[in-house]
Amino acid sequence: MIRGVRGATTVTKNDKDAILQATIEVMEEIQRENHIHPDDISHIIITMTNDLNATFPARALREIKGFQYVPVMCAQEIKVPGSLPRCIRLMVTVNTSKKPDEIHHVYLKEAVHLRPDLSLTNEQETR
């Protein structure tokens, strides 16, 4: 079965190293929480808010072992007044036998406020 795994995080400033580090952090947490291997991944879409443009976040995934063959696309998030600033979002499309309610979506830093209804988000707030 094909499933989407969502992840998001924030950075404190529009900085190349901060964007790359945050992207690696959220992707590695998605992998850990869902027991995902690069071979399980069909593709990844990464978006960033328009206040981030110091680098392509997809570059960060090339630093993770096994990700050199995973198709990744970057895009700009829709600018909505009052939305969370300096946010990086991932949609990881995976082959898995897990049911939708067994998927652990990962929200780190200020992004925990995006989906408080998801169980892992609530767990992240207490860490």
Distance between CA atoms of residues 8 and 118, nearest Å: 13
Cα(84)–Cα(110) distance, rounded to whole angstroms? Answer: 8
Catalytic residue check, 86: no
> Which of the following is catalytic: 3, 6, 86, 87?
6
Candidates 109, 24, 8; CA nearest to 59 is 24
Residue in 25, 33, 59, 74 annotated catalytic: 74
Annotated catalytic residue, options 29, 86, 87, 89: 89
Concerning whether 87 is annotated as a catalytic residue, the answer is no
69 is catalytic: no
Active-site hit among 29, 77, 86, 87: 77
| Marked catalytic residue, from 62, 63, 102, 125 | 62
Q: Which of 113, 105, 15 is nearest to 60 (CA)?
A: 15
For tokens 């900085």, name the residue.
Answer: 15
Catalytic one of 25, 33, 110, 115: 115
107 is catalytic: yes
The secondary structure of residue 57, as a DSSP letter, is T
Residue 90 gets the label, from left (phi > 0), alpha (psi -120 to 50) or beta, of: beta
Catalytic residues: 6, 62, 74, 77, 89, 107, 115
